[in-house]
Structure 1
Amino acid sequence: MTTPIRPIAVIGPTATGKSDLALDLAQRLDGEIINIDAMAQYRGMDIGTAKVPVPERRGIAHHQIDVLDVVDTATVARYQQAAEADIEAIRERGRRPVIVGGSMLYVQALLDGWQLPPTDPAVRARWEEVLRIGGTEAVLAELRRVDPVAAATILPTDGRRLVRAVEVVELTGRPFAASAPTKGQPRWETHLIGLDRETELLDSRIALRTERMFDTGLIEEVEQLIPLGLRDGVTARRAIGYEQALEVLDGTMTRAEAIETTAAGTRRYVRRQRSWFRRDPRIVWFDPGADDLLARVLDGLAAAGE
């Protein structure tokens, strides 16, 4: 009997070099890549999401990239269903799924088979209106009242997740954390490869990458997305870098301020990613700054029975 093909997930904080490793693994192991970064799903959002340009993808098929318009709302549920189908199809073709990205809830939903808690459009709309009128502090105040543990763990500026937490508590009568999946054997026996760098070095990489994004046309990219509905998007317009570029175009922020705010927001996001992923004992961690990263990862896969 043929041994089922085990996917490889390359995950971890932003700006650690995950895309390069994923391409190397896919090329070496006859794989296809599945994006697991929420904002890379949006068509036209290329510079600010650091997508690998098509000519640099080495002819390797990429999935779950450029599958949404900027007016669409990115949801974990849609991604989970679509990515599951991609993995099954790639394995049926006898090829290796290589999952790459750092969106924490997406990783957990896909690899732990998260049965997502219910949603209700009317309840969601009511709390989104509270968010619109009173800002994140108004939603956070309610979450502190009904679920102080969740209020302490969700970033105070993450309005969408605050709204979702309040919605879940209202609909289920249970704490938000009660809907989180348990960590067992990852689905498809996926190998979990984590990349991380020393904080000071990663902060420097983030600063350089942010400067490069603005230098290579992030503001112009956002300007082109406005007629396509970027301002109306629930999730796309709030992406780190895109929100700041919109403010530059609106005259409420200078370019220099946008660069610094984007870099600071990315650093905060990296801290959250690191805290989230480091709690998962299944992840095998690698320092991408050391020599022969691909060889070390392949040795680790061999030791795991590949």
Structure 2
Amino acid sequence: MSKTYLINICGPTAVGKTGVALYWAEKLGCPILSTDSRQCYKELAIGSAPPSEEEIQRADHHFIADRSIHDPITAGEYERFALERLQTLFTENNVVIAVGGSGMYIDALLNGLDPLPTDAHIKAGLDEQFSEDGLEPLVAKLQELDPVYAEKVDVNNPRRVIRALEVIMASGKKYSEQLNNSPKERPFEIVNWVLNMDREKLYDRINRRVHLMIADGLEAEARSLKSHAELPSLQTVGYREWWPYFKGEYDLDRTIELIQQYSRRYAKRQLTYFKRFENALWLDPNDINSQEESLRKSGVL
């Protein structure tokens, strides 16, 4: 039986992951599996920066706009979904490309997630505190109880913060200490790339992409979703900044400025998260020669 390979392409937002994934998908004639936690939602057609219709036509894509925001998926559920989908894809392909920037989803796919404790009463209390006092006190609590994880997690994402606190309070142990340190065996070879570039150049790309999203109609998309603003998928960068704007709390220029600012912060957290990936090769998205060399050394080419 011939070997099968998963080429994982990750990196911060706006670094150029989609372009690299499409280049190699076309070269290798293989499908693409998204590891993005938001591009799977069909309602987030602009703010999640999914591949364009033209890009979708260039390769067989999976986990893109295949569900509604009312049908959320967790990282643990994604692990099961992705492994089942890969099993199917590998029956006809020796290579599949995974691409995205959602650290926990990538971890789930490559390494597997450890089963973590749940406690409905603790979660209900945290949800109530969030509803009454907002996110800030919960973030402060997480920073106190587990500063290591607080540095890595998207502290503007209520679901991630609440889940970490639930695990800490239910187990009496730090969340960061309970994350999987022993990767699960996978029935395929993994080639893991982290794309990165000069910080100033990356931030400029982020700022320009936000303006492109605005031009494409991000405000109208967010306005159409404001009645669902409490959903976890809409408590994320690119959407949550609109809710105060719609209430008249600040103007459009400030809204755009905040989306850019929080997107840059998110990129910084992504890079911090990806540093924990052992054996990952850090590459410039435009360095095709080094990418090709990596594939030759791994046996893909």
Give the TM-score of the pair, scaled to structure 1.
0.89
SS of the residue corresponding to residue 281 of structure 1 reads coil
Using the TM superposition, give the Cα deviation of residue 71 of structure 1 relative to its aligned residue in structure 2, in angstroms: 3.0
Using the TM superposition, give the Cα deviation of residue 157 of structure 1 relative to its aligned residue in structure 2, in angstroms: 3.6
Unaligned runs of 5+ in 1: none
Q: Does 1:214 align with 2:214?
A: yes
Correspondence for 1:108? 107
* Pairing 1:105-184 to 2, within 5 Å after superposition: 105-144=104-143, 146-147=145-146, 149-151=148-150, 154=153, 156-182=155-181, 184=183
Give the Cα–Cα distance (whole angstroms) in 1 for the partners of residues 150 and 206 of structure 2. Answer: 28
- Larger deviation, residues 258-267 vs 240-249: 240-249
| Distance 1:38-1:152 versus aligned 2 partners, 3 A rule | closer
Give the Cα–Cα distance (whole angstroms) in 2 for the partners of residues 42 and 142 of structure 1. Answer: 31
Match of 1:288 among 261, 280, 285: 285
| Distance 1:159-1:192 versus aligned 2 partners, 3 A rule | same
Using the TM superposition, give the Cα deviation of residue 111 of structure 1 relative to its aligned residue in structure 2, in angstroms: 0.5
Task: Give the counterpart letter for 2:293 in structure 1.
Answer: D
Deviation string for 1:242-292 (max 9, x for gaps)? Answer: 1123333332232111111001001101111111112323111211244xx
Any conservation in 1 of the 2:157–2:235 contact (CA below 8 Å)?
Answer: no
Correspondence for 1:304? 298
| Distance 1:7-1:243 versus aligned 2 partners, 3 A rule | same
SS of the residue corresponding to residue 8 of structure 2 reads strand
Give the Cα–Cα distance (whole angstroms) in 1 for the partners of residues 17 and 182 of structure 2. Answer: 22
Using the TM superposition, give the Cα deviation of residue 18 of structure 1 relative to its aligned residue in structure 2, in angstroms: 0.3
Give the TM-score of the pair, scaled to structure 2.
0.91
Any conservation in 1 of the 2:152–2:273 contact (CA below 8 Å)?
Answer: no
Using the TM superposition, give the Cα deviation of residue 153 of structure 1 relative to its aligned residue in structure 2, in angstroms: 5.0
Percent identity of equivalent pairs: 28
Give the Cα–Cα distance (whole angstroms) in 1 for the partners of residues 282 and 55 of structure 2. Answer: 26
Give the Cα–Cα distance (whole angstroms) in 2 for the partners of residues 82 and 103 of structure 1. Answer: 15
Using the TM superposition, give the Cα deviation of residue 21 of structure 1 relative to its aligned residue in structure 2, in angstroms: 0.8
Using the TM superposition, give the Cα deviation of residue 138 of structure 1 relative to its aligned residue in structure 2, in angstroms: 2.3
Any conservation in 2 of the 1:219–1:249 contact (CA below 8 Å)?
Answer: no
Count of residue pairs brought into register by the alignment: 299
Match of 1:231 among 216, 219, 229: 229
Deviation string for 1:200-255 (max 9, x for gaps)? Answer: 000110110011111110011122334xx53241x121121111233333322321
Any conservation in 2 of the 1:197–1:289 contact (CA below 8 Å)?
Answer: no
Any conservation in 2 of the 1:13–1:196 contact (CA below 8 Å)?
Answer: yes
Task: Give the counterpart letter for 2:115 in structure 1.
Answer: L
Correspondence for 1:203? 203
Provide the aligned C-alpha RMSD in A: 2.2
| Distance 1:148-1:35 versus aligned 2 partners, 3 A rule | closer
Any conservation in 1 of the 2:152–2:272 contact (CA below 8 Å)?
Answer: no
Correspondence for 1:67? 66
Any conservation in 1 of the 2:33–2:99 contact (CA below 8 Å)?
Answer: yes
Using the TM superposition, give the Cα deviation of residue 299 of structure 1 relative to its aligned residue in structure 2, in angstroms: 2.2
Match of 2:245 among 238, 245, 248: 248
Unaligned runs of 5+ in 2: none
Correspondence for 1:79? 78
| Distance 1:216-1:154 versus aligned 2 partners, 3 A rule | closer
Any conservation in 2 of the 1:230–1:236 contact (CA below 8 Å)?
Answer: no
Deviation string for 1:164-213 (max 9, x for gaps)? Answer: 11110122232211221126587322100111010000011011001111
SS of the residue corresponding to residue 39 of structure 1 reads coil
- Larger deviation, residues 43-52 vs 183-192: 183-192
Give the Cα–Cα distance (whole angstroms) in 2 for the partners of residues 270 and 47 of structure 1. Answer: 18
Task: Give the counterpart letter for 2:284 in structure 1.
Answer: D
| Distance 1:253-1:42 versus aligned 2 partners, 3 A rule | farther
| Distance 1:249-1:58 versus aligned 2 partners, 3 A rule | same
Give the Cα–Cα distance (whole angstroms) in 2 for the partners of residues 144 and 232 of structure 1. Answer: 24
